[in-house]
Structure 1
Amino acid sequence: MSRPAQIPLDLGHRPALGREDFLVMPSNELAVGVIDNWPQWQAFAIALCGPPGSGKSHLCQVWRASSGAVEVDAQSLAQHEPPELIGDATCCVVDGVEEALATSAELQRRLFHLYNMMRERDGYLLVSGREAPARWRCGLADLRSRLSTLPVFELGAPDDLLIEAVLVKMFADRQLKVSPEVLRYILPRMERSFACARALVTAIDASSLEQRRDITIPLVRDVLESDRLSPRP
């Protein structure tokens, strides 16, 4: 009699977000270097940009931990004025406002206020997005001009070495053991993007749990050929 499939509970997992957990490669070493170099920045405000899953948010968390920065996102900035959000802080990280900024004049006004507050306090501001801030859609001319002057550090597209390292880390974050043979099978068969890597690891984890099977090449083949693999933004 076959065993019933196990229903996976989406309890989530906690990625390792310390500096020692970040994978430094040629595609991201300039961005890592500037985060490590704080507070000897050449400007009070800088920007990180890159594709989804490239490590922007990870580096933001590394800097937040080292600087004591207050973290601000689109939702909190839409609900509160900057003084309410940051108090007396002299460091602030703004992550994930790029899309919302394009359609909200109020959000633009508040981000401009936040920018000025950090400058007046001789503080530091780190912003993050897919595109460089100079390319963000923004109708507020004063904010647009400020964003266009930010030094930008890009986390580039991944090469095979980085994709493999990212896969290893993502599996490890979920406490999953994957053999080198399985990794070698995956690499030439997947899209070269961090979003795909994340979606693939999620799908493999779910399939392994549902079927109570180890992560083997046949299981991975089934996942790659299934319709459950859809990269998340």
Structure 2
Amino acid sequence: MPVQLTFDLPAKSAQEREDFFVSAANTVAVETLENWRNWPGQKMALIGAEGSGKTHLSHVWAKEAGAHILRARELGDIDISTSANNHVAVEDVCQIAGNSDAEQILFHLHNLVLANGHSLLLTAQTAPAKWTLSLPDLESRMQGTPVVTLEEPDDALLCAVMIKLFSDRQIDVPPNLLPYLLRRMDRSFSTAKEIVDTLDKAALSRGCAVSRALAASVLDNDTRNSA
């Protein structure tokens, strides 16, 4: 069978509230963000592993609150006074650890957002105590931020995550595929993403649909190669 050329085209990710599946693993986080007007100190840190839904939830919250979304690594490009005139979400805060300029900007942004009576959402993969920030004043404020965590996924959430990942790529999932995958995969968001990526590329290269048979062929081959 001829191998088709594949292209790494970006998938369009659905970020609406109805696209976010709620399970026991994330109920507390969802309810906490929905109750944002009552956050202690007007701020919250949303913590979770890669692929756990932090970006999705922060976009849902931003739409609800009318907030700006900023990436921590891009803080050097913002005007603090303008950004602080609204509610703000700052994503991946731990990525600026050791960047003195970015830490200074976040410190002043944090203070001004709260002083203006707005709310601040911070996201990262680990809790603030592990961010290893170098600016003591910022570190103390981050460690004083309440934390809500997106827990490791249960089977229901893993299924929903994979359905969404496939849907973002406009791939229909056959009914027998997900139960098959769940029996053979590690329970993690990163593994779910890797499997979806692998099956998508395999289907494109072979010119076939994503199916249980394709998954069996690909996963069995991966298992033999890693043995």
The 5-angstrom pairing of residues 188-227 of structure 1 reads: 188-226=183-221
Pairing 1:115–2:113 present: no
Q: Which amino acid aligns with 2:86?
A: T
Aligned to 1:133: 128
Q: C-alpha distance in 2, partners of 1:174/1:19?
A: 19
Q: Contact 2:6–2:205 at 8 Å: present in 1 too? A: yes
Q: Contact 2:203–2:209 at 8 Å: present in 1 too? A: yes
**TM-score when normalising by structure 1:** 0.89
SS in structure 1 at match of 2:183: helix
Match of 2:147 among 132, 149, 152: 152
TM-aligned CA deviation for residue 103 of structure 1: 2.1
**TM-score when normalising by structure 2:** 0.91
Q: Which amino acid aligns with 2:116?
A: R
Aligned residues: 223
SS in structure 1 at match of 2:89: strand
Q: Percent identity?
A: 37
Q: Contact 1:77–1:110 at 8 Å: present in 2 too? A: yes
Aligned to 2:56: 58
Structure 2 residue runs of 5 or longer lacking an equivalent are: 223-227
Match of 1:94 among 90, 96, 112: 90
Structure 1 residue runs of 5 or longer lacking an equivalent are: 228-233
Q: Which amino acid aligns with 1:38?
A: W
Q: C-alpha distance in 1, partners of 2:195/2:175?
A: 16
Q: C-alpha distance in 1, partners of 2:130/2:212?
A: 42
TM-aligned CA deviation for residue 40 of structure 1: 3.3
Over 3 Å counting, the alpha-carbon distance change for 1:206 and 1:196 in structure 2 is same
TM-aligned CA deviation for residue 225 of structure 1: 3.9
Pairing 1:77–2:66 present: no
The 5-angstrom pairing of residues 32-51 of structure 1 reads: 32-51=30-49
Q: Contact 1:81–1:110 at 8 Å: present in 2 too? A: no
Q: C-alpha distance in 2, partners of 1:223/1:110?
A: 47
CA deviation vs aligned residue, 1:68-120 (integer Å, no higher than 9, x gap): 21111133213445236x1x632000002312x22211111111011001111
TM-aligned CA deviation for residue 126 of structure 1: 0.2
Q: Contact 2:73–2:102 at 8 Å: present in 1 too? A: no
- Kindly report the root-mean-square deviation, in angstroms, between the aligned alpha carbons of the 2 structures: 1.8
